[in-house]
Structure 1
Amino acid sequence: AAIKIGGIGLFGIAAIWSSGFQFSAATSDTQSYGVTGFIASVAFAILAFKGFTTITNSGSEITEPNRNVGRAIVISIAICVAVYLLVAFGVGSSLTIDEIVAARDYSLAEAAEPALGQTGFFLTVILAAVATASGVLASVFAVSRMLAMLTDMKMIPHRHFGMSGPIQRHTLVYTVVIASTLAVFFDLGRIASLGAFFYLVMDMAVHWGVFRYRREEIGASGFVLLLALAFDSVVLVAFTMMKLRSDPLIVLYALGGITAVFIFERIYLSRWLAPQEVAHDH
């Protein structure tokens, strides 16, 4: 992790250096993107910071979690802000919007190439690959751990399909299979868009659930929860509007997936909760 963070930070500094430490944008014409485009881009920014959920999913493995989970989240967000700002300033001051779009996943390497040469370009690509792989591994294990927890709580169904070992090993296999399937049918841009839709809706559902059922129990601020819901709603609407213009199919895919999850969970949980409600009435 230290090598990944330090390496990306150094290449970000190199990109800023190659631009002559000019923190102004290389593209002067930004009117065409508008306020809606800026707000929609926040959806990807929110998704970029979702990594701290890996910490909460690993809370049982952290020493003194009641104190250290919050600290770890704050530290991780602070590090992400510093690294993302370095990369954003480095790439934005060296490349125009059109060049960034053309370079796509190699934009940092393109921005650092004038300062580091072709060798630096390849090193940046290798570093990005390592960072992506480590991020994917961390997310896969975090998601599988969360799915195992939900399975133990009987919140989602589970089938062994002949596999041995603990449930988390099974959910790890399911997670990898689903992720691989998405990688086959969608490019990284579409996967990120799907992730943004799902994450924003999930975030809003969690905020509403805490506000309605748990805010007094855990001492959460109702104002903060409603404010978060409002911000998420604005970002979701703006992001949906942008995608309807550029890639309407991905909006339909996201809507279909989210609807399917809600319907499935509604049916499954109603079957599980009904016997408990009957027993409670008696």
Structure 2
Amino acid sequence: MTDKKEEKEQIGLKDAVSIGIGGMVGGGIFAVLGLSVELAKGGVPISFLVAGCIALMTAYSYAKLSVAYPDEGGTVRFIYEGFGYSVLSGGLNNMLWVSYIIMLSLYSSAFGAYASGMFDITGDHIVDKHIFISAIILFSTFINYYSIKVVGEVESFAVIIKLIILLAFVAAGFWGITENPNFIQLSPENWESPVQLIAGGMVIFVAYEGFELIANSAPDIKHPMKNTPKAYYYSVIFVILLYIAIAVVTVGSLDFADIGKAQDYALAEAAKPKFGQIGFTIISIAAMISTFSAINATLLGGSRTNYEVALYHELPEEFTKQLWGKPLGLLIISIFTLVIANTIDLESISTSGSAGFLVIFGIVNFIAFKKRKTIFANKSITIIGFICCILAFIILTIQQIQENATGIIIAFSIFGTCFLGEWLYKKHLKKKIDHQ
């Protein structure tokens, strides 16, 4: 009886792939599509391809590490396996925790943009997007405290709805797209420089980061040696193709100037030429459902991450305490998200998030390279993945310093604070132990 029960509770390949797709096709594509077009112009499909290739190489490292070290901590566990209990591992795990907050801010900002855009079509410009941003963060926090089961149900519903709508958008968008006068925008003469295309891909890299959620589910995946790698590869490849298709339809349907005007809700605006106002409304609703589910799932994942990091004494022990039956870290994350989402612009948030995950993913690739004999990983793929992440981070930094220094300043401030805070906390713990 026990064996059958455990068999039923395991996650199959289909469910594991859904976790990866659901994590990636969350709020990212709705939030950063307009920004990516602004940076790469007609070459935006190339930008998504470049970012996707880096994500795919990193997914290889994650797959190998997930099979060798299946743990609910996912990335947290991999970092400890690579560097042990140290200031370096603590600082990196703190960066991961803060990156969750950045992602929450991105999703919340996107929700606010699409929600306020819905009011604009009625001629009511009074409702500010920050009202929606704050409301959705508070509401999602309430749901997480109320019931984890509800969070799971919201996520399951949202994954189905957003994929149906996005696939319908792509299918309808390709129908007769070559006859649209804006289709010429996709020609190479309308692409930005290669460096700008790469930079554009790195700014929007946050749209791919969600595949790492598979690592947190690795202990429960049925036939892990076979299904865990497949879950990573299938989900990442599917999303790469989906994003490229969305980028082609958007640029081929809508003038650059119109995309720029509606940068924060570009995907909804791109539905207008084919479907009119109804299309705008449907995509806006899909974006709101999608970002809402992403906020719920990320709040849950972020609170669990800081709880686990605190158990290893990398964060203050207050993060392990409970409030209304849930980790106190959930409330702390929500407060930080409220502040960031309401004070920092979307591009800076996206840049900070992409920079953070490029560093984290670069480190994971390095750990896979370092542990390659133990985890039976290919030396070339892991080291190329590491080099690509670091080069992409450098290109992103240089490009953003020239055009949007705020995002890079925020990113480096976060890096410095995470490591300085960890060093001071470790020093405090040592003194505390010495006095006992």
Q: What amino acid sits opposite 1:258 in the alignment?
A: F
1:206 is displaced (CA, Å) by 2.7
Q: Secondary structure at the match of 1:193?
A: helix
1:63 is displaced (CA, Å) by 4.3
For 1:200, the equivalent position in structure 2 comes to 358
Q: Secondary structure at the match of 1:156?
A: coil
Task: Kindly indicate whether residue 167 of structure 2 is the aligned counterpart of residue 9 of structure 1.
Answer: yes
Task: Kindly indicate whether residue 375 of structure 2 is the aligned counterpart of residue 218 of structure 1.
Answer: yes
For 2:217, the equivalent position in structure 1 comes to 58
1:36 is displaced (CA, Å) by 1.3
* CA deviation string 1:73-98 (max 9, x = no partner): 22321331232122111101112333
| Distance across 2 between alignment mates of 1:79 and 1:185 | 34
Number of positions where the alignment pairs a residue of Structure 1 with one of Structure 2: 273
**Aligned positions of 1:106-255 closer than 5 A:** 106-159=265-318, 163-164=322-323, 169-212=327-370, 214-255=371-412
Q: What amino acid sits opposite 2:236 in the alignment?
A: I
Mean Cα deviation higher: 220-229 or 49-58? 220-229
Q: What amino acid sits opposite 1:216 in the alignment?
A: K
1:45 is displaced (CA, Å) by 4.4
TM-score by length of 2: 0.56
Tell me, yes or no, if the aligned pair for 1:140 and 1:172 is still in contact at 8 Å.
yes
For 2:249, the equivalent position in structure 1 comes to 90
For 1:30, the equivalent position in structure 2 comes to 190
For 2:15, the equivalent position in structure 1 comes to none
Q: Secondary structure at the match of 1:223?
A: helix
1:238 is displaced (CA, Å) by 1.4
| Distance across 1 between alignment mates of 2:408 and 2:278 | 40
For 1:258, the equivalent position in structure 2 comes to 415
For 1:280, the equivalent position in structure 2 comes to none
Q: What amino acid sits opposite 1:242 in the alignment?
A: Q
Tell me, yes or no, if the aligned pair for 1:9 and 1:86 is still in contact at 8 Å.
no
| Distance across 2 between alignment mates of 1:274 and 1:209 | 31
Tell me, yes or no, if the aligned pair for 1:54 and 1:138 is still in contact at 8 Å.
no
Tell me, yes or no, if the aligned pair for 1:57 and 1:146 is still in contact at 8 Å.
no
TM-score by length of 1: 0.83
Tell me, yes or no, if the aligned pair for 1:18 and 1:94 is still in contact at 8 Å.
no
Mean Cα deviation higher: 197-206 or 262-271? 262-271
Mean Cα deviation higher: 263-272 or 67-76? 263-272
Higher relative contact order (CA 8 A, sep 6+): 2
Tell me, yes or no, if the aligned pair for 2:321 and 2:327 is still in contact at 8 Å.
no
Give identity over the alignment, percent: 23
Structure 2: which 5+ runs fail to align? 1-158
1:271 is displaced (CA, Å) by 6.7
Tell me, yes or no, if the aligned pair for 1:113 and 1:121 is still in contact at 8 Å.
yes
Q: Residue 27 and residue 70 in structure 1: after superposition, are their counterparts in 2 closer, same or farther (change >3 A)? A: closer
CA RMSD of aligned residues (A): 2.9
| Distance across 2 between alignment mates of 1:240 and 1:51 | 22
For 1:75, the equivalent position in structure 2 comes to 234
